[in-house]
Amino acid sequence: MAEQRQVTFNLNGQQVVTSAGTLVIEAAKKQGVEVPSFCYYPGVTPSSVAACRMCLVEVEKMPKLQTACTLVATEGMVVKSDTEQVHKARKDMIEFLLSNHPLDCPVCDKGGECELQDMTFRYGLDHSRFTEEKLHYPEEKWSPLVYFDAPRCILCFRCVRVCDEGMDVKALGVGARGVHSVIIPNQPGQLACEECGMCIDVCPVGALTSGTYRYQTRPWEMQYVPNPCTHCSNGCKTTLSVRNNEILRANNRDQSGVNGEFLCGKGRFGFDFTNNAERVRQPLVRRNGKLEPASWEDALEEVARRLKQVRDQHGANAIGVIGSNHTTNEENYLLNRFARATLGTNNIDHHRTADYAGLAAALGPNATSALATMADVYTAPAVLLIGNDVTQQNPLAAWQIRSGVRHHQTRLYVINGQESKIHRQAKLLVKTAKGGERAAVRWLTHDEGTFDAPTTEALGQLKSALEAEKDVAILFGAEIQGPALRDLVSFGARIGGQTKIMALGDYSNSRGAADMGVLPDRLPGYVSLQDSGERARFGKIWGAEIPAAAGLSARAMMDAAVAGKLKALYVVGANPVKTFATAQPDNLGRLELLVVHELFLTETAQRADVVFPAASSYEKDGTLTNTAGEVQMTHRSIDPQGPRSDFDLIRILSHQLGMLGVGAPIRLRTPEAAFDEIRQNVTGYDLPVSSLLSGGAPQSAATCKASEPSYDVPLGNIFSANDFLFTSGSLGRYCSKLTSTREAKDTPWISSPNIQSWWYR
Amino acid sequence: MSTTIETPIGAAQTMVLNMGPQHPSTHGVLRVVLELNGEFVVKAEPIIGYLHTGIEKSCEAKTYSQCITLTDRIDYLAPLSNNLGYCLAVEKILGLEVPKRAQYIRVLLTELTRCASHLVWVGTHAIDLGAMTVFLYSFREREEILKIFEYLSGQRMMTSYFRIGGLALEPPPGWLDKVQRVVDSLPGHIDEYEDLLTKNKIWLGRTQGVGIISAADAIAMGCSGPMLRGSGVAYDVRKAFPYSSYDEFDFNVQTQTAGDCYARYQVRVAEIRESIKIVKQAMQKIPSEGPFRAEVPGIIPPSREEMKTSIEGLIYHFKIFTEGFAPPPGEVYQAIESPRGELGVFVASDGSHKPYRVKFRAPSFVNLQSLPKLAEGRLIADVVACIGTTDIVLGEVDRQTRRKKGFMQLPPALEEKFTTLLGRYPVKRSALIPMMMYSQDFFGFLSDELLADIAQRLDLNLTEVTETLAYYSMLRRKPVGKYHIQVCTNISCMLRGANELYAHVQKRLGISNKEVSPSGTFSLEEVECMGACTGAPAMQVNFDFYENLDPEKVDVIFEQLQDGKKPTPVPVISGALHERNPNEVVVISKNFGIPNSRSIDMYMQRDGYKALEKALKQMTPDQIIDEMKKSNLRGRGGAGFPAGMKWSFVPKDLPKPKYILANGDESEPGTSKDRPLLEMDPHQLIEGMVIAGRAIGANQGYAYIRGEYRYIIDIVETAIAEAYAKGFLGKNILDSGFDFDLAAHTGAGAYECGEESALMESLEGKRGYPRIKPPFPAVVGLYGRPTVINNVETLSTVPAIIRGGGDWYASLGTPKNGGTRLYSISGHVNKPGIYELPLGFNLRTLIEDVAGGVRGGKKLKAVIPGGSSCPLLSADEIDVNMDYDAVAKIGSMLGSGGTVIIDEDTCMVDLARRIMHFYAHESCGWCIPCREGTTWLRKMLDRFHEGGGRAEDIPLIDELSKNMLGRTFCPLGDAAALPTISIVKKWRNEFEDHLHGKCSYKPAEMILGAH
C-alpha cells in the first residue's frame, strides 16, 4: 500500500494533522470534538449518506454549511463546528426530526440509551413549536425477534445499509417516499432473513426493537458483563445485560473485541437457555433404573466409589473420558489431568470439529507466526477459503471476509463442495464434488489427480491467481485434515508474503479443547505422548506418572463401550450418543458407569448413571480460545442456581478419589490458578494477563516442537457439527427465542429449498 | 394505462386467455391459461393451488383416528372412498383384521359412492356441454344415495363413517331397504340418461373425437380410473390388488378403446351399472348380525355400553380418544379404486401416537396432467369438454404450485418488450422501471406474483423491486378503473380554475381522490404538474392529454367515455402552435407547427442532420466543445451551468464507457417546453445527442422522459428507429468510424428524478435519491462512469450551434447568456403559450406584448419567472431583462423558463400553500429538513389559509423555510423554501389579513389534504 499522505487542516482554531482522505467527522472525533450524526455509521458502509444533516459544519470559502460526514479534510481547510450557525442548524434538524416523533419515551425500550434523546438534550429545543397532527402507524412484528415501530423511525437508513452491505442479506428496504417513507421488510409484513438482529443493534432510536428484550427493563437497571458467545467457534464478544440474576439481552454494546459491531442471531438472541425450565439443577443418580435427585455428597461419593471399583476390577484403561468443546480452557486442562494423572488413562478425547492438532503438527514452530487472527481475515488482501459454509457456520469469519471485500476489495478464492452464500463475494469459485476439496488441494500442491475439464480449468485459474498473490489468508473447514492439511500448508508456504492460516471448527472452545490436550495422543500444547521428557514434566506437575500408550479416540471409546470393553465413561459437556451415533444408544447398557456433566438431559445424559448439573460458560469464570486461537475471558454473569462449574466438579471429585487412594487431589482452587499453571506449562499460552483482564483477545499459538511429516487421525474422528445459523449442538434446542423463528423451523440449509428461497435471492 | 389487453389476432399472433377459476366449466378453483391462435388452443396450462387445504400436513398433528374426518374433504364427492383408503392403510400398518360384515358394508357403500360421484359427473359434464336436463335428473338420483349415507352416519357428504377396524356405528335397522329402492330404480334412470345422450347428435359432436389420449400416453402420464380405461387399459385396483374382499365379488372392468370424451362417458355410465351389480351381491353377503368393527383393545374403543359401565372400559375409551394409539414404526402404501382412479394412501409411523407422514396419491392430481394433451390443438369450445372429462375434484388436487424454475407466462407482446428492454442496458436492473411501467399497461397494476417474477428476471432481491416501486407515484399495486382520470391542480392549472374543475369531476364521477367507481369504469387521482401548463387546466385519461378544459368540456369527454368512444385528445401540446410573435427569434422551435415535423424526411428537408455531418467530418471533438463554449449556451434545465464547460470536464482518454443523457423529466410546475421539443422535433434532440457523444467520446445515450409523457416515448422511439435506419445512429455513423447507440427510457412519476444524480439512480432502476456531489457526473455518473447529462432543450440546441457557429449563437443573447430559449408562459395571461425569445428579453414586454397582457384587464400582482422553485417577483420588479445574471441580481432565478403570471385576484397564502403541497408530495424523504420541513409547512399553511392561523405562525413559516434553505441534500429543499420566503416577505400583509378572518380573495373551498 502506498504511504499515507498527511494533510493539515484547521478545526475550531486548532491545527489538525490527519491522513489524506479522512472525513472531517472522523478527524474531529479523534480530536475529541463531537460532530453529531445519526445516519453516519462508520464501518458498516463504505459510503456516507448525508441524510440526517446533523453534522453540518462551517467551512471557510464555502457559502453553505457542509456535512462533515462527506467532507474530506484537505490541506489548509478551515472548519468550524462550534459556531452559532452550526448550533442553530443542529437545533433546527432536531426540531424537524421530532416533528413526527411520537411522545412515547416512557414506554420505549430505547429510553435512556437513545441517541435521539441524547442529541435533543444536548442540542435541541426544550419545547415544541409543532402543533399539527403527527403521523401514526401501527407497530409491526416482523419476526419473533424483530419489531418495528414506524413513527419512532428517523430514517437514518442504518438498518437498511447494515442488512444490505454488512450482512449481504438485503431484507430491508424503503417504501413510499417523502414524509411517508418507511422501512419495509422483504416479505409483506414480515422478514425472511438471517435474524441476526444487526438492524436492531444499529438503530439509534427505538424503531427496531428486540423480541427478547422489549418492555423488560431499563438500561440503567442492568449490569453489563462481557462474555465470548457460547455458540460457535468464532468467539464474538457479546455483552450480557443482566438484571436480578437474569440475562435479559445480549449485544456487543461497546463494539469492542474481535467482532466489533458484529453479532449473529445466536450471539444476540441465544442466551435464554440459561433459565430454560428443562435445565438440570441438582445431581441425579440412577436408582432402580430411574434418574432421581440426590445430594451433592451422595452423588460425588457414588461416582468416586464406582470409578475406583471399575479401576480396581478392570484397570484404568477400562475408563474413558470425553471432554467438551465448550467448557473453558482451565476445565479442559483439569480434565486432562484428571484422566491422565488421577485416573491414569489416556482414553480422553472430544468431538473434534477441525484438525487443530494436525495443523499444529504440520506447522511446527511456525505456528506462532502462521496462524491467522480474525483481524487478519479482514485485512488480508486475498483470502483462500476451502470447504465449510462460513456464512452459516462461522458468521464472524464471513463478516470479516465481506467487510474486507467491501472496504478494500479483498480477493476471495473459494474451493467448495457445498453451497455457501459467501460464494457471492468470490472472485474465483471452484465447485468440486461433495467432499472433493481434498483432491483439489492435492492438485494445487502436487499436480496430482484428474477432474473434469471445467473444474481443471477453474483450478488452473485459481492456482495461477493465488501464485500471483501475497499475504494470503487461508481458511479451511473440517474437509481438510491429515495429508490434505499438510498439502495445504506446503501450498501456502509457496505463496508470497506471509501466508496466514486458520482452521474453522465449531463450538466455542473447540480449539481450546485441542490446545489443552483433550486428545488421546497429545498432552497440553500438542505435546506428543511419545516424548518421555515432556511426559515426565507433566507427570511431575500433576503428581502421577502418565502412561505412554495413546488412548482411544472418542469414536473408539463409544465403540468399545458398546462392545463392553470400556466399563466406565466420564462425559463432560458433550453428547457423544448423538454426535457419534455409532451405537444403538441402549447398547451403552454394558457400561458399568456413565457419568455426565450437563446443563440438560441430552441423549447421553438420559442414559447416565449419574448426572452432575453443570454451569454454562455464561455462569462461570475462565478462558475460551476461539478457532483463530484468540483467548478471551468468560465471566460469571449470573449465579447458576444449583449447577456448579465443571471446574469445581472435577476438582472436588479428585479430592473424593484421593480419599479413596486414587490419584492426588487437585489443589488448584480457582480458574485463575489453573490458568497460571497453563501459562507456565503450555507453549503458546504465555499470554499477558493484563490484556485478558482488559477485555483483549491475545492470540495463543500452541506449538509443536517440530513439524511432523505424518500426523494423521483416522477418518471419521474429525467432522463438522453442521450447525447452521439457528442450531447450536445440543444447546440450540434450548434457546427458545432463536428456535421460535420461521427460519429456524426450516430443515438444515443444504437440503432445504425453502431456505434457498430466502437465502439466495 | 389501458386496463384491457388488446392484442391483434392474426396468423402469426397468439393471445393468452385466462380461464377460471370459476364454476362451472373449470369446476371450481382450477385455472387454465390458454394460449390461443384464433379459435385454436396452442397451449393449455392448468394452474392449481387455489384450494390448498394442507390436509396431509394437518394429519401430522392429529391422532390416527382424528385424521379420518380430514380425509372426507380431500375428494368431497367421494368421502367414503377416502375414508376407506386411509382406514385400510392404517389397518395395514397395525396388521388389523376387519370383520367380514364390515368389509362387505364398506364395499356396498363405496360402490354407492361411485354411483353418486359418476352421477354428479354425468350431470355436470352434460350441462357444461349444453345439455340441461340430465343435470337435473342425475342430481335427483344422487340425492337418494346421499340419503342413505345420511341415514347411516348423520351426514350427507362428510360422512366419516368408516373407522379404523370397521365402521363408526352399527347400521340402523331397515337401511338395506333403502339401498334396495335405489338399486331397483337407478338402472332405469341410467337408461333415461342414455336416451338423452348416447345417440344425441350434439352430444356425439361435442364428445366423439374430442380430447383423445392414447393408451400409451395415458399410462405414461400416470392416468388411472376411467381416464385410463377409456383408452382401453383394463386396470382397476379392485381387480389388480383386491382389498376389502373384492375378490369375492363378480364384476367386470369396463373399458373402451377410442380414448376420447365419449369413450370415457361410456365407461362411467357402464361403471354405474356395474356398481349396482356389486351392491346387489353385497346385500346378499352382508350378515344380518355380527361385529361391525374389530375388537382390539387399545386400538378400537370399547362399546358405549362397556365405556359407561366399566372403569376399564372408560379408561380405554379415554386413552384412545385423547392420546390415541401408536402403531409400530414403519410405512405402508395402500391403494383403492376411487371413482376417479387409483387413490393411494401412504402412511409412515414413527411409533408415536400421530402419523409421522401421510401422503395421498390423489387420482385427480395425476389425471389433470393429461389436460394439455387433451386440449392442445383443439378448439376453444372443446376445452370445457376436456376439463369435464378428466372428472377432477380440486380438493383432491390440493397442492400448492411451487415457483417453477423459469418465468411467468406473459402476453407475447410484453415478453417482446421485456426482451428489448433487457438488451438496452449494460446493467439489467436499469430495465426495472420500464418493465414495471409496461407490465402495468397490460395488467392495470402490478401484482405480487408479477413483481416476484420481474425480480427473478433481473436477478434482484424482492426488496429491491418493491422499494423501487414504492418510490414512484405512477406505479401501483392495486387496480384502477378502466379510465384512469388524472387532474392537475398545480399552480398553472389552479390559476385557471383547476380546483373548480376537479370539484366538478369528483361530483360528476361520484368518487374522490384515489378512488375507483363501483363499476370499475373510472378512477380518479389528483396529480401534480403534468406539463400541460400552457393548456391549463388539463387532465389525463389514461395516457391521453386533454387541455384547456372547463366543466362543459369535461362532461362531453365523460359522456363519450361512458358510451365507449374515445374522445379526441390534444394532438400536440396546447400553446406550441400559435402565431409567431414578432419578438420571437426562432432557432430551436423552427419546426413547430410544420406538418409531419417529427418525421425524419421532413427533418432532413429542413437542414436536419447537417450539423451531425459537419461535426463528424469537419470537426474534432475538441473543436465541437470549443464551439459549444463560444456559444455561451447555458443549461436550460434551470441551473444555467455553461454546457460547453460541462462537456469539457469529462476526462479524456479514459478507457471506461461514457454516456450522454438527455434529461426529459420536465416536471417543474409551470414548465412545458421540453414536451413540444420531444413531440414535434425529436430528431433535433437525437442529432444533438449524437454530436454530444462525439464531443466527449461517448457511444451510448439515453433519453430519460418522464412517465406522464407516455405517448412521447413512442414518438421518440419511432424517431430513433428512423435514425438507425438512415444510419445516423448505430455503428460507423456516416462512415466516420464513430458509433453511437440511443434509447428512450421512461420515468414513473417523480419530480426528484429531474435532479441529475437522482435521474441516474432512477435510470439504474433504483429509488430516485440524489447522490453526493462531488464527484460530479462528468467524472462519476451513470453506472459510475463519466456522463454528460443535459436538459432536452440544451441538447436540442446543439445542431443549430454547430450549423451556425458558436459566435452566431452567442450573438443572439446577452454577454455570457448566449442564444434563445423557450418560455412556457402560463397563468393569468391572454395568450398562454410557448415562445422562443432571446436571452435578456424584457419581462414586462414578455407579459404585456408576447403573452398579450393580463387576462381580463386585471392588474398584475406577481410573476414566477422560471418555474415554481423561483422566488416570486412582485409587479414592480418586472422591468428586468431576462438573462441568468440579471434575474439573479434581483433575487430570483431564470430557472426552467416556466413563467407564471399571477393577477390581483389571487390569494398569495393559497399560492404558497399550493406550492408547498407540491414539494411535500415530491420530497424524496432522504434528508430530514426537506422531508419533515415541507410537510410541516404544508400542514401549517393549510391550517393558516383555512383561518386557523396564529400571529406567531408568520415568522415561524419564514423561519422553518430558512431552516431548510441551503441545508438539504439536494436543491429540492431550496426549491420549497425560496418561493415561500419570497411570498412571506413580499405579501406579508395577506398573511396578516388571514389572521382577522378567512382569505379575502376566495372562500376556502380549495381542495385540501389531498396529499
Q: Which three cell numbers stand for residue B180?
A: 334396495
| pLDDT in the model for residue B639 | 87
Closest by alpha carbon to A702, among A396, A360, A366?
A360
Task: Kindly state the DSSP code that residue A187 receives in the 8-state scheme.
Answer: B
Q: Where are the alpha helices (DSSP H) in B818-971?
A: 843-845, 884-889, 908-922, 928-943, 953-964
The verdict on a CB contact (< 8 Å) between A184 and B467 is yes
- Rounded Cα distance between A154 and B929, Å, is 12
**For B919, nearest residue in chain A (alpha carbons):** A178
3-state secondary structure B365-427: HHHHHHHHHHHCCCEHHHHHHHHHHHCCCHHHHCCCCCCCCCCCCCCHHHHHHHHHHHCCCCC
Q: Phi-psi category of A676—alpha, beta or left, where left has phi over 0 and alpha has psi -120 to 50?
A: alpha
- Rounded Cα distance between B663 and B787, Å, is 12
Tell me the shortest Cα–Cα distance from A209 to chain B, in angstroms.
Answer: 21
The verdict on a CB contact (< 8 Å) between B932 and A179 is yes
| pLDDT in the model for residue B28 | 74
pLDDT in tens, B115-137: 999 999 999 999 999 899 999 99
- 8 Å CB contact between A346 and A373: no
- Rounded Cα distance between B686 and B677, Å, is 11
Whether the CB of B920 is below 8 Å from some CB of chain A: the reply is yes
- 8 Å CB contact between B817 and B885: yes
Residue type, A462: L
Tell me the shortest Cα–Cα distance from A555 to chain B, in angstroms.
Answer: 27
Supply the angle between the helices A646-659 and A296-314 in degrees, to the nearest 10: 60
pLDDT in tens, B137-154: 999 999 999 999 999 999
- Rounded Cα distance between A147 and B203, Å, is 62
A264 to A198, A199, A738, A740, B628: CA distances (angstroms): 8, 11, 11, 16, 57
Instruction: Give B813's contacts (C-beta < 8 A, 6+ positions apart).
Output: B632, B819, B820, B838, B839, B840, B883
Name the average pLDDT for chain B: 92
| pLDDT in the model for residue B25 | 77
- 8 Å CB contact between B118 and B110: no
**For B963, nearest residue in chain A (alpha carbons):** A92
- Rounded Cα distance between A229 and B985, Å, is 62
Q: 3-class SS at B29?
A: coil
The verdict on a CB contact (< 8 Å) between A172 and B968 is no
- Which residues of A fall within a CB distance of 8 Å from B931? 96, 155, 178-179, 181
Radius of gyration of the CA atoms of chain A, in A: 28
Q: 3-class SS at A336?
A: helix
A576-585, A597-606, B25-34, B387-396: which range is least confident on average? A576-585
Radius of gyration of the CA atoms of chain B, in A: 39
Q: Bridge partners of B864?
A: B900
- Rounded Cα distance between B699 and B621, Å, is 13
State percent of chain B over pLDDT 90. Answer: 84
In b/e form, how buried is each residue of A236-253, taking b as 16+ CB within 10 angstroms? bbbbbbbeeeebbbbbbb
Mean of the pLDDT values across residues B900-918?
Answer: 95
B398 has a pLDDT exceeding 70: no
Mean of the pLDDT values across residues B859-886?
Answer: 95
pLDDT in tens, A101-116: 998 888 999 988 999 9
- Rounded Cα distance between A88 and A94, Å, is 10
Residue type, B735: D
| pLDDT in the model for residue B660 | 98
Strands A411-416 and A426-431: parallel
- Which residues of A fall within a CB distance of 8 Å from B455? 761
- Rounded Cα distance between A240 and A267, Å, is 10
Q: Bridge partners of B545?
A: B540
Whether the CB of B447 is below 8 Å from some CB of chain A: the reply is no
Strands B659-664 and B15-19: unpaired
Q: 3-class SS at B638?
A: coil
Q: 3-class SS at B495?
A: helix
- Rounded Cα distance between A481 and A713, Å, is 8
| pLDDT in the model for residue B456 | 87
- Rounded Cα distance between A276 and B776, Å, is 58
Whether the CB of B767 is below 8 Å from some CB of chain A: the reply is yes
Say which of A56, A132, A185 has its CB closest to residue B936. A132
- Which residues of A fall within a CB distance of 8 Å from B466? 173, 175, 184, 186
- Which residues of A fall within a CB distance of 8 Å from B926? 49, 51
Say which of A51, A53, A95 has its CB closest to residue B967. A53
| pLDDT in the model for residue A587 | 79
pLDDT in tens, B175-216: 999 999 999 999 999 999 999 999 999 999 999 999 999 999
The residue ranges of chain A whose pLDDT is under 70 are 1-3, 44-48, 582-585, 746-761
Tell me the shortest Cα–Cα distance from A423 to chain B, in angstroms.
Answer: 16
Closest by alpha carbon to B505, among B518, B519, B490, B488?
B488
**For A65, nearest residue in chain B (alpha carbons):** B967
B252 has a pLDDT exceeding 80: yes
Q: Which three cell numbers stand for residue A41?
A: 455509521
The verdict on a CB contact (< 8 Å) between A180 and B467 is no
Tell me the shortest Cα–Cα distance from B892 to chain A, in angstroms.
Answer: 17
Tell me the shortest Cα–Cα distance from B816 to chain A, in angstroms.
Answer: 23
Burial of B155 from C-beta contacts in 10 A (0-12 / 13-18 / 19+): middle
- 8 Å CB contact between B899 and B846: yes
Residue tagged 385427480 (cell numbers) = B364
Whether the CB of B939 is below 8 Å from some CB of chain A: the reply is yes
pLDDT in tens, A425-454: 999 999 999 889 999 999 999 999 889 999
B828 has a pLDDT exceeding 80: yes
- 8 Å CB contact between B384 and B128: yes
- Rounded Cα distance between B487 and A606, Å, is 75
**For B930, nearest residue in chain A (alpha carbons):** A178
Say which of B463, B928, B966 has its CB closest to residue A171. B463
- Rounded Cα distance between B682 and B675, Å, is 10
Supply the angle between the helices B972-986 and B988-995 in degrees, to the nearest 10: 70
Q: Phi-psi category of B787—alpha, beta or left, where left has phi over 0 and alpha has psi -120 to 50?
A: beta
Phi, psi for residue B820 in degrees, rounded to 5: -115, 170
Tell me the shortest Cα–Cα distance from A66 to chain B, in angstroms.
Answer: 8
Confidence band (pLDDT; 50, 70, 90) for B12?
A: low
Whether the CB of B461 is below 8 Å from some CB of chain A: the reply is yes
Q: Which three cell numbers stand for residue A222?
A: 442492568
| pLDDT in the model for residue B1 | 38
Tally A–B CB contacts below 8 A.
125
A 10 A CB-CB count for A189 gives 10
Q: Which three cell numbers stand for residue A500?
A: 496466514
| pLDDT in the model for residue A757 | 43
Q: Which three cell numbers stand for residue A383?
A: 483470502
Q: Which residue has the higher pLDDT, B722 or B1?
A: B722
- Which residues of B fall within a CB distance of 8 Å from A180? 925
**For B460, nearest residue in chain A (alpha carbons):** A761
Q: Bridge partners of A320?
A: A569
Instruction: Give B420's contacts (C-beta < 8 A, 6+ positions apart).
Output: none
Tell me the shortest Cα–Cα distance from B930 to chain A, in angstroms.
Answer: 8
End-to-end Cα distance, chain B = 22
- 8 Å CB contact between A383 and A397: no
The verdict on a CB contact (< 8 Å) between B920 and A99 is no
- Rounded Cα distance between B395 and B393, Å, is 6
State percent of chain B over pLDDT 70. Answer: 97
Tell me the shortest Cα–Cα distance from A64 to chain B, in angstroms.
Answer: 6
- 8 Å CB contact between B863 and B842: no
| pLDDT in the model for residue A47 | 61
- Which residues of B fall within a CB distance of 8 Å from A97? 928, 932
**For B750, nearest residue in chain A (alpha carbons):** A177
Tell me the shortest Cα–Cα distance from A172 to chain B, in angstroms.
Answer: 7
- Rounded Cα distance between A95 and A109, Å, is 22
Closest by alpha carbon to A628, among A437, A439, A283, A378?
A378
B327 to B97, B281, B345, B493, B536: CA distances (angstroms): 14, 34, 16, 79, 81
Q: Which three cell numbers stand for residue B75?
A: 375428494
The verdict on a CB contact (< 8 Å) between B931 and A184 is no
Q: Which three cell numbers stand for residue B367?
A: 389425471
- Which residues of B fall within a CB distance of 8 Å from A65? 966-967
pLDDT in tens, B935-967: 999 999 999 998 899 999 999 999 999 999 999
Closest by alpha carbon to A351, among A640, A730, A615?
A730
Q: Which three cell numbers stand for residue B411?
A: 402476453
Whether the CB of B888 is below 8 Å from some CB of chain A: the reply is no
Say which of A92, A96, A175 has its CB closest to residue B470. A175
Phi, psi for residue B439 in degrees, rounded to 5: -60, -40
Q: Which three cell numbers stand for residue B208?
A: 366423439
Q: Bridge partners of B163?
A: B166
Report CA A13 to chain centroid distance, whole Å. Answer: 45
The verdict on a CB contact (< 8 Å) between B767 and A177 is yes
Say which of B462, B928, B967 has its CB closest to residue A97. B928
Report CA B959 to chain centroid distance, whole Å. Answer: 43
The verdict on a CB contact (< 8 Å) between A174 and B940 is no
